[in-house]
Structure 1
Amino acid sequence: MIKCIIIDDEPLAVEILQDFIDKVPFLQLKASFTNALEALQYVENEEVDLMFLDIRMPDISGIDFLRSLNKRPAVIFTTAYQEYALEGYHLNILDYLLKPIPFNRFLQAVNKAHTYLAALKGKPAQEFIFIKTEYKIVKVDLEDILYIEGLKDYSKIYLKDNPKPIYTLQNLKSFEAKFSPERFARIHRSYIVSVSKINVICKNRVVIGQTDIPVSIGFKNNLQEIIHQNS
């Protein structure tokens, strides 16, 4: 479980982040602050793994707040101002979320944090998952997954060297929360794909084997991130 806090002077922004955190199984919200100076003592004295930190705040900016810390957790910046991105990356932050923050972009950032913190603690990378299907539980190696299709009440997991998909009542959101975004990407409201299995990337689709999978407008940023990270 990743212990996280929110520091943002906008109550609505705090509320949105609280709602997002609530939806992610591996995140535990420990505290929220609308005053960065009040948060300072908490961060220094309590165990905090991850901090969602606004940049432009009264009294002290998020950047100056971060520089003042003796004990620095992992940080995801949240701000409405894109011009701070470069300075943020110079501080080795994990990610930079531009407001208004879409949930899929938030999820991508916290999955990155999950991977980073697991590596920091020496935890071995996840190599398989257990799937409940047809009154039994089967082990599925992540390396074998080509893509997952989400339907109304269930999902279909397509595997290499297996003509029949696995059916499960798990939805795409639960898979998205479990998987590292470096390995699996949500490219459509109905599809998660294995990044390493993509053969061709086109404007509005990707190709895995002989299958065309659509890319929706809302998830195009995820596709651009895949291209950027692997170019």
Structure 2
Amino acid sequence: MIEAIIIDDEPKAIELLENYCNRSSVILCIKSFRNPIEALQFIEQKTPQVIFLDINMPKLSGTQLAKLIPSNSHIIFTTAYPEYAVESYNLNATDYLLKPITYQRFFKAVDKVSIALKKETELKNKSTKPTIIVKSGYEKYQISIDDILYLEKDGNYMVYHTLKKKILARETVSAALERLPETFIQTHKSFIVSTTHIEVLKSKHVHIKGVKIPVSHRYKVNLEQKLS
């Protein structure tokens, strides 16, 4: 549920947006304000995800207030004056609602915020995933640990089999194991696997994405203990 606040000096305008929020299943109005100064104090404490912000208000205009609001709050301007549209976009507003506001237009703005929040979450999750750098010839690849399926020794080289590609690196098995997390384990003198990607464990091999990877007697007990 998206948490929102409403800032408008007109009670009827607040009432309309509150009703619209109540009709929606994706957004919740947690507070409404007629005084922008009081609203700013609340924002500094709570940082709501969405702020419905009127532009023409006494004491502090919506555009002035927008400059004081943290960037992680999405601003949707609400006003009866279309001439403020350009200025609102210069302030990185997510949307601009022209009064009188219909529910359909309100819902479209909320949907825009919902998409933006989803993208922000995906980007945040992606940026926090652990990665390693693999040197292949003159090139270096940054690979997400979660994307590595297994490693296969090929002569003096190690082949990184990932969800997207294969990367060849001049590396020993011991060197690869040393920099990989504990979710990786050696199953054979030439193979290291990600235990998170193992689909089936059999007596002499494991399955990862339909590929049979050998499990030698030397490493089988350690692998079974790890999976248990």
Per the shorter chain, which TM-score range?
0.5 to 0.7
Deviation string, structure 1 residues 50-75 (Cα, Å, up to 9, x no partner): 00000010001000001123455101
Question: Residue 121 of structure 1 aligns to a residue in which SS?
Answer: helix
Stretches of 4+ aligned residues off by more than 4 angstroms: none
Is 1:90 paired with 2:83?
no
Deviation string, structure 1 residues 83-140 (Cα, Å, up to 9, x no partner): 00000001111110000001111111111111011111118xxxxxxxxxxxxxxxxx
- The residue correspondences of 1:1-231 to structure 2 (distance < 5 A) are 1-70=1-70, 72-122=72-122
Q: 1:219 maps to which residue?
A: none
Q: If the length of structure 1 is used for normalisation, what is the TM-score? A: 0.52
CA distance in 2, matches of 1:33, 1:79: 15
Question: Residue 122 of structure 2 aligns to a residue in which SS?
Answer: coil
For the Cα contact (< 8 Å) 2:7–2:33, is it kept in 1? yes
Question: Residue 31 of structure 1 aligns to a residue in which SS?
Answer: strand
CA distance in 2, matches of 1:69, 1:77: 13
CA distance in 2, matches of 1:72, 1:54: 19
Give the superposition deviation at 1:28. 1.2
Letter of the 2:40 partner, please give it: L
Structure 2, gaps ≥5 residues long: 124-228
Structure with bigger gyration radius: 2
> How many residues matched?
124
The RMSD of aligned alpha carbons is 1.6
For the Cα contact (< 8 Å) 2:47–2:70, is it kept in 1? no
Q: 1:71 to 1:115 in 2, by over 3 A?
A: closer
For the Cα contact (< 8 Å) 1:7–1:33, is it kept in 2? yes
